[in-house]
Amino acid sequence: MIQRNELPLLLTGFMATLAGVGLARFGYTALMPQMVQAGWFSGEQVAYLGAANLLGYLFGALAAARLAERLGMLRTLAWSWAATALSFAACARPDLPGLGADLGMAWFFVWRCISGVTGAVLMVLGPSMAMAAAPLPRRSVLGPLMFCGIGFGALLSATLVPALARLSLTAVWCAMALCSALAWSVGLTQARRFGSPAATAARAAGPAPGAAWSAAVVLVMLAYMCDAFGFVPHTVFWVDYLAREQQLGTAYASTQWAFFGVGAIIGPLAAAFCATCFGWWGTTTGAYAIKTLAIAMPLFWAGFAGHATSSFLVGALSPGMAAITSGYLMQLIGPQQHKRMWGYATAAFALMQATSGYFMAWMYAGLGTYRPLFAIAGCALLLGTIMIATSRAQPKTAAA
């Protein structure tokens, strides 16, 4: 049960993940086939625009802490929420006056990259700021709920995009801008209620101690990078693959994206439950194995049930994997070193994610099909599963 005085914390983190990834990235995934069918861009171009967001996410993950130090947490969050909303509004028309086709592509690329930067900043700072102000016993409850904003954004885009696309794509982009602005308003209002105490607590904590680079920790880091590489086909190309390549239509693809969103809402909550039942090593190993199967599933189970199962499981294990991997690292190295090590893991994840996005966009441009990407992604997750399975070590703390 969430207490009334915890609502500002929860809503700050929730609105940050909702705007940062739920809308800024996953909203575009639902838009990709619509943009091709409307003649805004070609299939290859929308793939590269999807990768632009991942590139921006890398820069944002690396810059978030420094921006917070220079501008302050609240100001950085406010500008990031505002820029996310502006990035949608700036892409509301493909034929901006004075811009040709090539410049129009560049215009969209810049704004998709900006949305990636601000999305990473929101993802890093929003939940972190809220969790720093939360009582220690309540963090395991509030944390997963904050990350449910990712799934809610995916579910919102799955319903909003096909409904408004009947009017025009401009209406869709404007609606996304409005939703982002609403998240900005609610999130910033709630963050101001506890911003100063959280910042004071963060400053009082002082610098984190040096990281413990054990073999188990290195294996977990490498496995998390494999996850970053492998989940790109579903989170960037899945809707376009179903709607255009499989010729199943945008309504079918949007339904599958809704299954992804539902999974992304449930995943973080299920992660905490499984960890209490099976332990962090067992939960993490099982999660990687299930995600390997789910990502490769389109290669051998192509019906509605197969697509829905794949959508739901990958959705659940997208934000869920972050919670699981973070918890496993906490057990291996202890809470004192966790913040710094998790920062390294997030930066490595963002780097591999951006690399995968551009590699797979390049492959699609050359092959003209998404299907081989799922095989490559499945192999990456299988490698990650093997690393996690062999990473079991005596933890330095009993905290889970």
pLDDT in tens, 209-221: 444 678 888 999 9
pLDDT of residue 336: 65
Q: What is the mean pLDDT of residues 334-346?
A: 71
- 170 pLDDT higher than 70: yes
Average pLDDT, the chain: 84
Q: What is the mean pLDDT of residues 1-12?
A: 81
List the one residue out of 102, 322, 113, 77 whose CA is nearest residue 224: 322
pLDDT of residue 6: 80
User: For residues 152 and 19, what is the distance between their CA atoms, to the nearest angstrom?
Assistant: 10
What proportion of the chain, given as a percentage, has pLDDT over 70?
88
pLDDT in tens, 7-33: 888 899 899 999 998 999 888 888 888
Question: Please, are residues 233 and 242 in contact by the beta-carbon 8 Å criterion?
Answer: no
Q: For residue 347, name the pLDDT band (cuts at 50, 70, 90).
A: confident
pLDDT in tens, 89-109: 998 877 655 555 556 788 899
Number of separate helices (H) and strands (E) present in the chain: 16, 0
User: For residues 273 and 111, what is the distance between their CA atoms, to the nearest angstrom?
Assistant: 38
pLDDT of residue 201: 45
- CB environment 166-203: b (16+ within 10 A), e (fewer): eeebeebbbbbbebbbebbebbbebbeebbeebbeebe
CA atoms within 13 A on the CB side of 22: 31
CA dihedral 117, 120, 121, 127 (to 10 degrees): 160
DSSP string, 243-311: IIIS--HHHHHHHHHHHHHHHHHHHHHHHHHHHHHHHHHHHHHHHHHHHHHHHHGGGT--SHHHHHHHH
- Secondary structure letter of residue 93 according to DSSP: -
pLDDT of residue 289: 96
User: For residues 52 and 115, what is the distance between their CA atoms, to the nearest angstrom?
Assistant: 9
pLDDT in tens, 39-79: 888 888 888 888 899 889 889 888 888 888 888 889 999 99
pTM: predicted TM-score of the whole model, two decimal places: 0.81
Phi and psi at 138, nearest 5°, equal -100, -5
Q: What is the mean pLDDT of residues 306-331?
A: 87
The first and second tokens of residue 371, run together, are: 């299907």
Higher pLDDT, 103 or 344: 344
